[in-house]
């Protein structure tokens, strides 16, 4: 490929009506939202049928909620730092978000441990706890995508590849991380209010 055609390709990539990677991210977010809408709808229908063992949600899941709110704040701090080319703040904010993201995962495991200690398992015998595990477990699986996005963004920030003229990575990581945070808050409130 000649130099001129390579330059033309780069120019053409910037002229998309929609950024293909961002478009795919939004498709994934919409698909995830539909999955959780289906799960919470099934939860409501099954609970209405009776034979439902309501239980207290362990406090560790409240800690998860606080952690995810803090991580959303640090992620937004990282985004604004990138827009202002404040590279040191960007690195600190992304690393802080990553640490909080890991803390969220740890608090989830601690919450599951409390459930197990109280003989609440994912089993056909206890539908309420099974739904709880399914809903929170699917969220936890989606969290892996968030961790990958954070690790990638942090790596790029340390290589000085994120700045005000190169925002795609941080924009996509922030979008996904905020979605995961809002989704967790919704799920926690839903499960708390619909025990």
Helical (H) or strand (E) element with 186: helix 168-193
Cα 165 to Cα 126: distance, rounded to the nearest angstrom: 53
Q: What is the pLDDT of residue 9?
A: 37
Altogether, the residues listed in the chain come to a count of: 195
pLDDT of residue 100: 98
Q: Is the pTM of this model over 0.85?
A: yes
Sign of the Cα torsion 52, 54, 58, 61 reads positive
Which contacts (CB < 8 Å, 24+ apart) does range 121-124 have? Answer: none
Q: Say which residues have a Cβ less than 8 Å from residue 11's Cβ, sequence separation at least 6.
A: none
What's residue 123's pLDDT?
Answer: 80
- Return averaged pLDDT per consecutive 10 residues of the chain, 195 residues in all: 40 62 94 97 95 93 97 98 97 97 97 95 88 96 94 96 94 97 97 94
May I ask the CATH class of domain 3-193?
mainly alpha
């Amino acid at each position: 490929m000649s130099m001129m055609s390579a330059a033309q390709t780069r120019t053409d990539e910037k002229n998309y009506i929609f950024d293909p990677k961002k478009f795919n991210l939004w498709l994934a977010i919409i698909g995830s939202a539909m999955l959780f809408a289906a799960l919470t709808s099934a939860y409501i229908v099954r609970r209405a049928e009776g034979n439902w063992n309501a239980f207290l949600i362990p406090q560790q899941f409240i800690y998860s909620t606080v952690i995810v709110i803090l991580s959303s704040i640090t992620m937004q701090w990282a985004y604004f730092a990138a827009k202002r080319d404040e590279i040191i703040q960007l690195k600190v904010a992304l690393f802080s978000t990553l640490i909080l993201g890991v803390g969220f995962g740890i608090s989830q495991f601690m919450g599951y441990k409390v459930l197990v200690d109280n003989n609440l398992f994912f089993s056909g015998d206890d539908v309420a706890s099974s739904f709880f595990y399914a809903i929170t477990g699917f969220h936890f699986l989606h969290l892996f995508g968030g961790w990958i996005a954070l690790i990638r963004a942090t790596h790029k920030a340390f290589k000085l590849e994120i700045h005000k003229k190169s925002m795609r990575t941080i924009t996509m990581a922030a979008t996904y991380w905020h979605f995961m945070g809002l989704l967790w808050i919704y799920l926690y409130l839903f499960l708390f209010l619909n025990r």
